[in-house]
Amino acid sequence: MPERVAIIGAGYEGFRPLVSDLSTRELMFEAASRAYDDASVDPRRDVGSFICCTEDLWEGWSITDEMVPDQIGAAGRPLCTIPADAITGIGNAAMHVLAGVADVVVLEAHSKAADALSKKQIEDLGQEPTLMRPLGVDTDTLAALEMDGFLKSTGYKVEEVDEIVVSSKRRAMHNPRASFGASLSKDEVAHASAGSSPLRKFDRAPFAEAGIVLVLASERWARKNRCDPVYLDAVAWSSSLPWFDGGGFSAAGYAKDSYSKAMRRAGKKKDLRAFDLLEVDDTFSYKALQHLHSIAGSKSETRRVIAGAGPVLNPSGGALGVGNLLEASAIHRLLECYLQLKGQAGPVQVKDARTALVQSWRGIPTATGGVALLSR
């Protein structure tokens, strides 16, 4: 990138299994208000464009973006709604900044998962309509088949997946934004009740609710206004072939491709030792291992990171500890890295953190995700 994009503010609200005291719009308003305070900006005066990552299926009505502008200060202003995760969103925000469309851009995403009476029905409706949906193959079944295929094709053991669950749950106990922290033994994880084998109770992140807003600006604007930013060094996103359409089990092509492109754009060699922490998608426990393996490039490097000899993996507790935040899952990882690099992560702070990698996945049934690189 010829000029870096700066993240100059962040705000959030919620991070609970059920936010019963705030509506979706109130949740967004609270998060936006805190982000603008953090960035010291006036959305009506300073912000040139707004981006919201949201999906009609999870919102419960069509053209939900019509209900977005007011509560984030975007009424009558340029606003783009993207039905994708926030890696795609922050990529679009970066393009707005670098193309000169706006000096300051706001990115918003949220989860009100508890408002959906049947989350399974929504997930089922998202399946490919010609072959998959008529067969009645649900999300857990597809995840279980992929988990089994991944372990068998790579030689990783289910005990290594259990280690990720145990670590994530324990880290989450110290994160004020995490609802599902727990002190579990590997034996408790291994013998938890199974749904679709080998997928078990603790292998899937439970749902949670939150609203998150990030404020981005050009490096020039940030310096002129004496901001204290975290920089977006590069971002990339990609789609690959899902395993049930003929893709492979051993690696997540979208993660591998996005990582390669992001590192190339940042002018870095592919080496995870360049980062102090990683926030990797773990919507399912095995996906954390698959995603890490895909970007690390080898089992030895993957195992080194899991053993704690490399960058800290998911210091927030990940989705397994914080919860599945639907369209806000990727922006949550961006938020955690922003707080880490600012030294504001509290009890889960990584000492002397200066660089971070965020990896996202759109979720079943997609093979879509991205990577963002952040630094101070």
The answer to whether position 257 is within a domain reads no
At 3 the pLDDT is 76
Q: Which residues of 203-218 are buried (b: 16+ CB within 10 A; e: fewer)?
A: bbbbbbbbbbbbbbbb
What is the domain count for the chain? 1
Instruction: Dump pLDDT digits (tens) for 112-130.
Output: 999 988 898 989 888 888 8
Nearest alpha carbon to residue 24 among 94, 109, 105: 109
Q: What are phi and psi of 40, to 5 degrees?
A: 55, 50
Residue 321 lies in a domain: no
Can you tell me the mean pLDDT for 162-181?
Answer: 97
The answer as to whether 75 is a domain residue is yes
Amino acid at 204: R
Average pLDDT of span 188-198: 91
Contact in structure between 106 and 52 (CB atoms under 8 Å): no
Apex CA 78: angle with CA 219 and CA 2, to 5°? 25
Asked, for residue 35, whether it belongs to a domain, the answer is yes
Distance, in Å, from the CA atom of 127 to the CA atom of 332, rounded to the nearest integer, reads 25
Residue 27 lies in a domain: yes
- Mean local confidence (pLDDT), 106-115: 95
Give the CA distances from residue 166 to residues 3, 159, 203, 269, 319, in Å, rounded to whole numbers and listed in that order: 40, 10, 10, 31, 13
pLDDT at 48: 96
Would you state the torsion angle of the CA atoms of residues 68, 70, 72, 77, taken in this order, to the nearest 10 degrees? 90
Residue showing tokens 């996906």: 287
Can you tell me the distance from the alpha carbon of 45 to that of 361, in angstroms, rounded to the nearest whole number?
34
Tokens representing 274 are: 């360049």
pLDDT of 31:
98
Residue range 352-375: mean pLDDT, rounded: 96
Among 341, 343, 345, smallest CA distance to 317 is for 345
Instruction: Report CA-CA distances (Å) from 172 to 164, 188, 368.
Output: 12, 17, 26
Query: Structural domain of residue 69, as residue ranges?
Result: 5-117+212-224
Residue 1 — very low, low, confident or very high, per pLDDT cuts 50/70/90? very low
pLDDT in tens, 51-72: 999 988 888 888 887 888 899 9
Encoding tokens for residue 232? 């977006």
Q: Helix %, strand %, coil % for the chain, to 5?
A: 45, 20, 35
Mean of the pLDDT values across residues 326-330?
Answer: 95
Asked whether 250 and 289 are in contact (CB, 8 A), the reply is no
Q: Quote the CA–CA distance of 313 and 334 in Å, as a whole number.
A: 14
Question: CA separation (Å) from 169 to 135, 258, 309?
Answer: 34, 27, 19
Per-residue model confidence as pLDDT tens digits over 208-244: 999 999 999 999 999 999 999 999 999 999 999 999 8
Distance CA 295, CA 173 (A): 27
More confidently predicted of 316 and 127? 316
What pLDDT does residue 157 have? 96
Domain-located, residue 37: yes
Q: If you average pLDDT over residues 345-374, what whole number do you get?
A: 96
* 372 has a pLDDT exceeding 50: yes
Q: Is residue 136 part of a domain?
A: no
Distance CA 30, CA 260 (A): 36
> For 47, which DSSP code?
-
Residue 135: band (very low, low, confident or very high) from pLDDT cuts 50, 70, 90: confident
**In the predicted model, is pLDDT for residue 18 greater than 50?**
yes
CA proximity to 107, closest of 279, 322, 356, 327: 327
Judged by average pLDDT, the poorest of 111-115, 130-134, 170-174, 249-253 is 130-134
Q: CA 193, CA 199: separation in Å to the nearest integer?
A: 9
Q: Tell the residue number behind the tokens 């599902």, with chain if given.
A: 180
Contact 141, 73 (CB under 8 A): no
Instruction: In whole angstroms, give the CA distance from residue 360 to residue 341.
Output: 19
29: domain CATH number is: 3.40.47.10
Does a structural domain hold residue 190? no
pTM above 0.85, yes or no: yes
Distance CA 218, CA 18 (A): 36
The string of DSSP codes covering 176-240 is TT-S------HHHHHTSPBSSTT-BGGGBPPB-EEEEEEEEEEHHHHHHTT---EEEEEEEEEE-
pLDDT tens for residues 243-293? 988 899 999 999 999 999 999 999 999 999 999 999 999 999 999 999 999
Tokens of 185: 């033994």
